[in-house]
Amino acid sequence: MNNLRQLKERFNPRRTYKFGDVTVEVDGVFVRIDEEPFSIDGESVAVSLEDFLQDPAIIRSARVSTGRDTVDVNEKASGMVGALYKDEHVTPFEGGVMFRLKVTAPISVVQPFFQLAGSHNEFSGRYSVIDGPFYVPEFAKRDPEILRIFEEAEAESQALYKKFLGASMAKEQARFALLFRFFTKFYWTISLRHMLEICALEKNKFAPEEFWQTRDNILISIIRDWTPWVYDKFVEHKKIYETKWAEEEPMAELDRPIFDSRVENIGSVQLIKSDIDENLMQLGIHTGPSPKRGFGHCSATFLIECPIFVHRQWVRHRYGSWSELPVDFDEVVNKINFYVPRRFREQVGKTMGYQYQDMADEKNKEQQHQLWGLITKSQHRYLELRKRGLEPQQAALCLPYTFRIKTLWTANVESLMNFFSLRRDSHAQWEVRQFANRIYAWFAVTSPWANKIFLKHINFGSTKAPS
């Protein structure tokens, strides 16, 4: 059994992987558990190495289709892994191996992760203080003048953030003072199939270089250590999913939207396309076990301009399609496209039970003045960094976390109902709630039957009627 013995020798279940300023911890994996090791008296469960190996789980997932869902994995198993991978039989890689990863990275680097497959649960600046130093990229460390600008920007940002917190400002608003390079962390649950697909993507300019470095130096290392057979076949049958062709395509001009609405002073929503047909939904709900699936056959597409912190909450609604458009940071700075609230809020109470109240007028004006002051200084720093030869995405690391971005969102009605329940709820952040209210107002008028079902049977939020 040389093949299996070599697999055991190469199996290297490391916990922590680090490259540059990104750390990924393997928090959990699928483990096969026999009945034998379990103890009735509650003592610890023994798991053999054979059950902990990940590659054999792919074989078991594949063999079940022929009625041979066995524990035994023979000498030919590694060849079967290669045949499955080479010929695009991908479901065994999805159902057989699953990773729960804890990612710690600069906020500017994690943006692409949330447009990838899997489940994401992120540390929230709404409920917790974001502490610790900011990300300083290598190009800044190599130039004393650029490093000075980065350090000055961080010092002013950190000082204002603490000042806002000291004024009892809601944490969800105090983070507006942070720069676009604070560290965040999130759990990412993803199958081996999707990791392999990410690792086969051709590099393009739409994701930051740090993202590609994380992929090439961490994700591939996890595949090599935890699934040696798969890694061998990944190298042997090299796949490249082409992406650079998109760089050559011009940005399209969208047709006139169905509606175009400003959302307070926060941003805007444009409804670009809708194929909502209530007759189709009425037909589709007669299904089991969940009639809600019938609402999945109709969808709408929106072009949204919103502050980046709103997008970070919104993109967690995974049941749909997101396309974050490239940010023109030169335009953001020149047109002063930053969000400053008309009314700051104070935060009282405990986690998950917070209450918010508007600041008194004079105190509110003072907080606005201070945030505008930081934005103005950030604009000057950005322009200075651009004159020193930095690319827009590099200079943007000294901008506060309140600039606006644009994104396309396509969601079916089932997804919209989940969004309305969560984001129109009184516990949702006020800014994202305004977007949810605006889209809901359109939905309630154009889909009266679906809205009636939603309000009576599906809505789990605290808001029942348009506000």
Catalytic residue among 60, 345, 381, 423: 423
Nearest alpha carbon to residue 108 among 303, 310, 312, 268? 312
H/E element holding 432? helix 430-446
Break the chain into its structural domains and give their ranges.
2-104+185-246, 131-181+333-398, 251-327+404-458
Hey, what CATH topology would domain 251-327+404-458 get?
Gyrase A; domain 2 (3.30.1360)
Residues β-bridged to residue 100: 28, 189
Give the pLDDT score at 466: 46
Q: What is the maximum alpha-carbon separation in the chain? A: 78
**Which residues fall within 8 angstroms of residue 272, CB to CB, at 6 or more apart?**
254, 255, 257, 258, 301, 302, 303, 408
Q: CA-CA distance, 428 to 124, in Å (whole number)?
A: 13
Tokens (6 digits) for 180: 């676009």
| Per-residue model confidence as pLDDT tens for the chain (467 residues) | 467 788 889 999 999 999 999 999 999 998 887 766 555 566 666 677 777 889 888 888 888 766 565 556 666 677 888 899 999 999 999 988 999 999 999 999 998 898 888 899 999 888 899 999 999 999 999 999 999 999 999 999 999 999 999 999 999 999 999 999 999 999 999 999 999 999 999 999 999 999 999 999 999 999 999 999 999 999 999 999 999 999 999 999 888 899 999 999 999 999 999 999 999 999 999 999 999 999 999 999 999 999 999 999 999 887 889 999 999 999 999 999 999 999 999 988 766 667 889 999 999 999 999 999 999 999 999 999 999 999 999 999 999 999 999 999 999 999 999 999 999 998 899 999 999 999 999 999 999 999 999 999 999 998 754 44
User: CATH code for 2-104+185-246?
Assistant: 3.30.1360.170
Is 423 noted as a catalytic residue in this protein? Answer: yes
Classify 438 as helix, strand or coil. helix
The 3-class secondary structure across 59-123, one letter per residue, is: HHHHHHHHCCCCCCCCCCHHHHHHHHHHCCCCHHHHHHCEEEEEEEEEHHHHHHHHHCCCEEEEC
Q: 435 and 314 in contact (C-beta within 8 Å)? A: yes
Answer yes or no: pTM beyond 0.75. yes
DSSP 8-class letter at 295 = G
Equal CATH topology for 2-104+185-246 and 251-327+404-458:
yes
Give the torsion through C-alpha atoms of 364, 370, 375, 380, to 10 deg.
150
- Does 257 sit behind a cis peptide bond, omega within 30 degrees of 0 on the bond before it? no
pLDDT at 32: 80
For residue 200, the model assigns a pLDDT of: 97
pLDDT of residue 2: 63
pLDDT for 464: 52
Cα dist from 302 to 260, 265, 416, 461, whole Å: 10, 18, 12, 22
| Strand ranges in 183-295 using DSSP code E only, listed in sequence order | 183-191, 259-263, 267-274
